[in-house]
Amino acid sequence: MHAPLQNDSFLRACLRQPTAHTPVWLMRQAGRYLPEYRATRARAGSFMALATNPDFATEVTLQPLDRYALDAAILFSDILTVPDAMGLGLSFADGEGPRFAHPLRDETAVAKLEVPDMNKLRYVFDAVASIRKALNGRVPLIGFSGSPWTLACYMVEGAGSTDYRLVKTMLYSRPNLMHRMLEVNAAAVAQYLNAQIEAGAQAVMIFDSWGGVLADGAFQQFSLAYTRRVLEQLKREHAGQRIPQIVFTKGGGPWLEEIAAAQPDVVGLDWTVNLGAARARIGDQVALQGNIDPNVLFAGAAQIRAEVARTLASFGAATGHIFNLGHGISQHTPPENVAVLVDAVHELSTGLRARP
């Protein structure tokens, strides 16, 4: 049904199988730093029009693959599609972040929350199927979702936040409300990712973008416990293929052992964590994905190559490293610098693995 996969280095690395070079992809690789993305975005008229139209989503997902030798594609979508389908009313004001018309702030609102009808998210699954077809086996396609906690942050705050005051106030003062919201979110995220897998996603990633804002203790109880619940419900195989699971907790360095113990196939790391130190802490239980500071892409070619070399060396010659940034690529990134990074990863990792 699907064209055979021509480059399986990403999927192999997720499962800690040997690869000829370290595979590389970049969080938010389809995005505003690319002029062709901005052109498609202008044609679509708005971010939501872009994200909800499978043809546009397919077009922008493939754009970075035409420029760079990336080893994976990731569904172009937004992490807030699920709460939008729950009826919170997502919008994006120009130049600002996302905003919900109906944030959840009290007991009544939380009591009404339900797992949304997955048909409301059909456009996402259609995009997955369309992208998988358009990829035609070039590289695997990653599906994704926000984590239950990260979704809850937006659902309570109603927008981005610098201090997470409203959601943490609920967490500390009404923990039962927060647990109820997280239960619904976990069930919704599991259904959402399973539907992406059925539509053709060959790996899935959970973005716990705001797990790192939690206190020790609260992280385990309100973020990781629900990410784990999602992982447990996900299809491990589809159409005879293993579907690797990636968990990325921005700022999750303090809890690496516990995140690894939730048994995803891959743990994503931000740039504050040394890859070698991470391996020393959690051994070879999981593959690691990351972790260069996206701001390295503002330096010159020589510095970018040096940072790539340093990152590869910090992981070492073992199997199970997927090269990535430690967070999404900046919209201000010069596109030519991305080519320097991607090519350096391939070139230098081939050399690294050839060492005795």
Closer to a copy of itself by CB, 242 or 310: give it.
Answer: 310
Give the strand order in the sheet containing 321-325: 73-74, 141-146, 203-208, 245-249, 266-268, 287-292, 321-325
* Residue 92 sits in the site that holds a copy of itself (CB under 8 A): no
Instruction: Name the nearest CA neighbour of 254 among 208, 205, 211, 310.
Output: 211
Catalytic residue among 33, 37, 68, 154: 154
Q: Which of 300, 336, 350, 351 binds a copy of itself (CB under 8 A)?
A: 300
Which of 188, 286, 292, 342 is close enough to bind a copy of itself by CB under 8 A?
292
Binding region for a copy of itself (CB under 8 A) out of 30-38, 111-119, 157-165, 177-185: 157-165
Of these residues, 71, 78, 208, 265, which one is catalytic?
Answer: 78
Number of residues located near a copy of itself, criterion CB under 8 A:
38
Binding mask 311-340 for a copy of itself (x = CB under 8 A): ---x-----------x---x-x--------
137 interacts with a copy of itself by CB under 8 A: no
Catalytic, 164? Answer no
Residue of 80, 115, 296, 322 that binds a copy of itself (CB under 8 A): 296
Give yes or no: 105 in active site.
Answer: no
**Residue 123, class by beta-carbon neighbours within 10 Å (0-12 exposed, 13-18 middle, 19+ buried)?**
middle
* Helical H segments across the chain, by residue range: 9-14, 35-44, 47-51, 54-67, 81-83, 107-112, 122-135, 148-157, 165-173, 175-199, 218, 225-233, 256-261, 275-282, 301-315, 335-354
Residues 6+ apart with CB under 8 A from 73: 25, 61, 62, 65, 131, 135, 138, 139, 140, 141, 142
Among 41, 99, 228, 279, which one carries the catalytic annotation? 41
Where on the chain is the footprint of a copy of itself (CB under 8 A)?
A: 163-165, 168-169, 171-173, 212, 214-219, 251, 253-254, 271-274, 277, 292-296, 298-300, 303, 307, 310, 314, 326, 330, 332
- Residues known to be catalytic: 28, 32, 41, 78, 154
